[in-house]
Every structure is written in C-alpha cells, then in structure tokens.
Structure 1
Amino acid sequence: MISQGLIRTLMTGLLLTTLLISGRSVAHCQIPCGIYDDYARVKSMMEDALTVEKSIRMMAELAGKTDAQSQNQMVRWVMNKEKHSQNIIAQISDYFLTQRVKPDQKDYEERLKKHHAVIVAAMKAKQNAGMEYAKALNNSIKVLKSYYPEQKH
C-alpha cells in the first residue's frame, strides 16, 4: 500500500518535472531590473526563424514518403517548426510589447505595427508549410533590427 505522503511527493515531483519541461520562459523579468540585451533577443528570434526555414525545407524533402522513419521525422520537423514559431511569438508579446514598445514613443504606432507583423508572420509560419512564410517571418524580424542595435559594453 502506498502512503499518502509518498503520493504527495510523487505528485509534487511530477508537477515540477512538467513545469520544467513544458517550455522555456523566453521573457525577461517584468520588473524594472535593468538587465536587458535587446539585440541578443532579436538575434535569438533570427535563429528561431532560420530553424523554421530549415524545418520547412526538411518537411518538403520528406513529403510523399510513407515509410515509418520518414513519417516520424516529418512529425518531428513539424513540431520543431511549431516550437520555434511560438518562441518568436512569445518573445515579441512577453518581452518587446510589454517592455520595449511604449505609448510615449514618437513612433509608437509604427513600432507596434512592425512588432505585430512579426507575430502574424510567425503564426502563418506555424499554420503553413510554404517557404514563403518562413521568408516573410525572417524579413519581419529583420525590420526590427534598427530598433535594437548591438550595444558594445
């Protein structure tokens, strides 16, 4: 017979494991800690976009193959595309739109539209398997580079 304490310990362990592996938090703190590297975040999104592009390329290579290994790899590439597209959406919404795009900026509306365009491009890249969606995502992120230049410390 399993004790209640053991059950609680196992459930707590399961909960913590689930929280740890369920996905990384890409947002930096939402308090004014002052430790930011916007350029690194844009660079990270560019890497995610390149991963989306590679995923789409690999999916195209596997299209039409029906053997079990090819089907397995197709699922993995689709999941990879989804994950990296979602990383970009989270980075824009959880970090840039909450901490970097401010209503008091002179070009607020323009910035808001450009950041929103990245979210929409990432959403479309998740929903579609065409290379044009990966290219559009990549281009939408490049537009943001002018707002977040590399800082030499």
Structure 2
Amino acid sequence: MLHKLLQKIDQKHAFSQVSAHCDIPCGIYDSTPAQIFALSVLRYCQQIDGLGDSKEDQAKLVRLVADKEKHAESVKHEIRVIWGDYFKGELLEKYPNIHELTHNIMMAGSAAKQSVSVEKAQKLVDLVNEFAEIFWETKGVETYRATCPYEPKAETVYPKLG
C-alpha cells in the first residue's frame, strides 16, 4: 500500500517493492537489554530523588524524566518481543505463568513511566529479574544473583556462562 502511495506521489522516481519477514530473523533473544533498561529506570529515579530546587536541577529533572520514560518503554518492548516471539508451544506449557509475569512487567513499566518512585522502579527491576531467570532456565543456563557493579547497585540476575 505504501509502495502504491509513493508511486502516485512521485511517478518519476518509482520505488521497488520491499518487505521484511520478522522482528528478529536470526533467532537471537536475550533478556539482558531489558534488565539494563530497568536498572536505568531505577537509577534515574534515584538521581531524581537527589535533586534540589535550583534551575540547573530543574533542567536536569526534565532530562532524567524523559530518559526514564524512554527506558521504561524499552523494557516493555524488549520483554514483549521475547514473550511474543520466543515463548511458544512447549515453553508456554512448561512456563504457564509467563503470561501473568509479562503482564505484570507491562503494568510495572507503565507505573514507572507515570511516577518517579524508587519503589516502583525497584518493582520493575525485580519483575524483569524474575523474567530473566525463567528465560535463562529455558536455555538450560544456570543463573545467579549479584549486586550490579555500577549504580544503582541493585541485585541483578546474571547467567552463568562457561
């Protein structure tokens, strides 16, 4: 449809038809980006808590809130892709709670976007960690929990890779 519209707009410079077959044709999935985004949301909320009333801090607040909201949306996107594209068939049978967990992450992501609450951001991190544990279990990879080596210094799930 877009192809036909563009041809009508510019008859002289017609486009050839293009298409794509899926979001991730290589089949590579990893929960780590969602975890990094969730940790970023938590860190932004911590930074917002430390701001004062100066004009500089007000300007910083605007930037922090904008980035926090982008990262919360990125968490939701990353989780939706894994849930929608990776969890199928036998995995859904083995992990029937993945639907509820994914829904809870979507709700926590929205709550994190709507507020600057450290507690709400921490809940998002906790849920994404739970998702990461399940994800790595589906790959037969053990996980462990450790405090991330950077701010926000939050407990994070890591795969034990040999």
Residue 25 of structure 2 aligns to a residue whose secondary structure is coil
TM-score (norm 2): 0.64
Query: Do the aligned partners of 2:46 and 2:118 also contact (CA within 8 Å) in 1?
Result: yes
Residue 41 of structure 2 aligns to a residue whose secondary structure is helix
**What is the match of residue 139 of structure 1?**
126
**What is the match of residue 85 of structure 1?**
72
| Cα distance change on mapping 1:31 and 1:131 into 2, 3 Å | closer
Query: Do the aligned partners of 2:34 and 2:79 also contact (CA within 8 Å) in 1?
Result: no
**What is the match of residue 30 of structure 1?**
22
**Structure 2, unaligned runs of 5 or more:** 1-20, 142-158
TM-score (norm 1): 0.68
Query: Do the aligned partners of 2:44 and 2:68 also contact (CA within 8 Å) in 1?
Result: yes
**C-alpha distance in 2, partners of 1:130/1:34?**
37
**What is the match of residue 43 of structure 2?**
54
Deviation track 1:86-125 (CA, whole Å, cap 9, x = no partner) reads 00111122x1232122255314531111111111111111
Q: Does 1:98 pair with 2:90?
A: no
Query: Do the aligned partners of 1:57 and 1:131 also contact (CA within 8 Å) in 2?
Result: yes
**C-alpha distance in 2, partners of 1:54/1:32?**
29
Q: Does 1:117 pair with 2:104?
A: yes
More helix by share: 1
Deviation track 1:6-64 (CA, whole Å, cap 9, x = no partner) reads xxxxxxxxxxxxxxxxxxxxxxx72673431x3xx3111111111111110111111x5
Query: Do the aligned partners of 1:30 and 1:99 also contact (CA within 8 Å) in 2?
Result: no
Residue 67 of structure 2 aligns to a residue whose secondary structure is helix
The amino acid across from 2:107 in the alignment is V
| Cα distance change on mapping 1:125 and 1:34 into 2, 3 Å | same
**C-alpha distance in 2, partners of 1:76/1:87?**
16
The amino acid across from 1:49 in the alignment is A
Residue 61 of structure 2 aligns to a residue whose secondary structure is helix
**C-alpha distance in 1, partners of 2:25/2:45?**
38
**Structure 1, unaligned runs of 5 or more:** 1-28
The higher relative CO (CA closer than 8 Å, separation ≥ 6) is in 1
Residue 109 of structure 1 aligns to a residue whose secondary structure is coil
